[in-house]
Structure 1
Amino acid sequence: MKLKATLLKLEKNTQGRDFVVGDLHGHVTKLHDQLAALNFNSAVDRVICVGDLIDRGPESAEALNLLNEPWFFSVIGNHEYLMINGMRYKSSRHRMAWLNHGGDWITQTSPALWDDWFDAIEALPLAIEVEGSDGSRYGIIHADYPHSHWQEFGHLTPELLEKCIWSRSQFQCQSRHVVNGIDYLIHGHNVNGGDLQLGNRFYIERGAYLGNDLVIKEL
């Protein structure tokens, strides 16, 4: 699978609330429990995930099945990327990396289910853009956005596309640079203590697979 600069623009939610959640990593029950505490209403509210739905937790299949729900959206994460390349496109390098990082749950599932999951993963956008309740524009992308302006999104090279789902450099150096053309960006991928803001970027991956609660941020 070749990464593409796909951007899903969601219409503003005028009927309910929008939430962004960090990497699920197979913790669907935890997601539902935390949403229930927020009085989440699936008829009008929406959830957007920063990617890495699968692996390391007990409910990876259930996490992929969330993609069938009309209230749930996600961008692609590096774990989905490894899964699709390793399983559908038979890359031994990606398959071994995936299995070594939590992908072995696939051996407990029926191959009859796999094509639907692969199709759903290939349909995931690289990024999602949505307007929040206060009029701010949010961009959700898994690990990083390497350009200085959001309008350059369509000009991501193959190398920069990889950085969008893999890079830790901006997080590790705690860069406070601002990405122009968007009010806020929201990332997962890099585990931190909570809702960390650097410049106009939020990092919301707390590490559910480590026993921590998910970060669920209302927009």
Structure 2
Amino acid sequence: METTLQSSPIVCRHAANTAGRDFVVGDLHGCVDALRYLLREIEFDGTRDRLFSVGDLIDRGSQSEEALTLLDKPWFYAVLGNHEEALCLVAEGSMRRSWWYGIGGEWAEGLPNETLQRYAQRLRTLPLVRVVGTGLRRFNIVHAEFFGSDTELDAGVFTERVRQQMLWGRELALGNGDPARQAGLSLTYCGHTPMREMGRIGSQLFIDTGAFAVTGKLTITEALTLNAWAVSIETAMAEGAAQMALP
């Protein structure tokens, strides 16, 4: 099932899914077993359904390398997260490994530079934005936050400050950003800032519920609906998620 209309390193557009369902998953952070469990719970069909990711596939959890293999699944579509950005910067020599390890990248301590560079080459193909559908059935996906309209998002012309905000920003989540600055922005799924429960602020729906944390969980929501599922990594493991196959 190929439904991408056009692609660029910044904005990638997808036609509406008329064959199946679309889901969006919060920050994985190496918690692939929790994802296995949730995909079984929602009866995900990899031949018809699509799973969009708000980024941060890696770091903190124990399955970062396995999370990166999701990028090769035909049903999986991610945007770049700040943790993927950090890996790329380390591989490109622009960030010290020690700084990355401090935010969860220590899983890569034993990996040679060549391996990191290979991962970075793949991650640099991920867009900052995914736009799905049109009109009233449209939704957007970014990692952290965006202030502006659909028109500005579609243009894909972002200053470095805006790009950094899309990867690292927390103004809206922390109550320091004015939702009125999102006039004309369709429902936009994002992660980056862990929330106790999935919730909407302005045009953005925050779906990172801290999968890697002891008290956290991974959340999946069906796009443009109120349907949502969540599980802790502890519960997923207790239910035998490690033996569950991915589509």
TM-score of the aligned structures, taking structure 1 as reference length = 0.89
Residue 67 of structure 2 is aligned to residue 63 of structure 1:
yes
**1:97 aligns to what?**
99
1:19-34, aligned counterparts within 5 Å? 19-34=23-38
Residue 194 of structure 2 is aligned to residue 194 of structure 1:
no
User: In the TM superposition, what is the alpha-carbon distance from 1:112 to its structure 2 partner?
Assistant: 5.8
Change beyond 3 A, Cα 1:110–1:65: farther
Distance in 2, matches of 1:156 and 1:97, equals 26
**1:138 aligns to what?**
139
SS of 2:43 mapped into structure 1: coil
**Preserved CA contact (<8 Å) 1:5 1:156:** no
User: In the TM superposition, what is the alpha-carbon distance from 1:46 to its structure 2 partner?
Assistant: 0.9
Residue 52 of structure 2 is aligned to residue 48 of structure 1:
yes
Identity of aligned residues (%): 33
Residue 191 of structure 2 is aligned to residue 213 of structure 1:
no
Distance in 1, matches of 2:47 and 2:211, equals 26
1:106-125, aligned counterparts within 5 Å? 106-109=108-111, 113-125=115-127
**2:236 aligns to what?**
none
Any idea what the Cα deviations from partners look like across 1:160-184, whole Å, max 9, x if unmatched? 1111101111110164436234420
Gaps of 5+ in 1: none
2:188 aligned residue (185, 188, 204) = 185
2:175 aligned residue (164, 173, 176) = 173
**1:13 aligns to what?**
17
**2:238 aligns to what?**
none
- The alignment covers a number of residue pairs equal to 212
User: In the TM superposition, what is the alpha-carbon distance from 1:47 to its structure 2 partner?
Assistant: 0.6
User: In the TM superposition, what is the alpha-carbon distance from 1:109 to its structure 2 partner?
Assistant: 4.4
User: In the TM superposition, what is the alpha-carbon distance from 1:107 to its structure 2 partner?
Assistant: 2.8
Distance in 2, matches of 1:182 and 1:123, equals 25
Distance in 2, matches of 1:197 and 1:107, equals 37
Cα RMSD (Å): 2.1
User: In the TM superposition, what is the alpha-carbon distance from 1:25 to its structure 2 partner?
Assistant: 0.1
Distance in 2, matches of 1:96 and 1:110, equals 15
Any idea what the Cα deviations from partners look like across 1:112-134, whole Å, max 9, x if unmatched? 644432221000000101128x9
- AA aligned opposite 1:163: Q
**Preserved CA contact (<8 Å) 1:86 1:96:** no
**Preserved CA contact (<8 Å) 1:138 1:182:** no
TM-score of the aligned structures, taking structure 2 as reference length = 0.79
Change beyond 3 A, Cα 1:156–1:111: closer
User: In the TM superposition, what is the alpha-carbon distance from 1:156 to its structure 2 partner?
Assistant: 1.5
**Preserved CA contact (<8 Å) 2:150 2:186:** no
Any idea what the Cα deviations from partners look like across 1:40-80, whole Å, max 9, x if unmatched? 11111111110100000010000111000000010001100
- AA aligned opposite 1:142: H
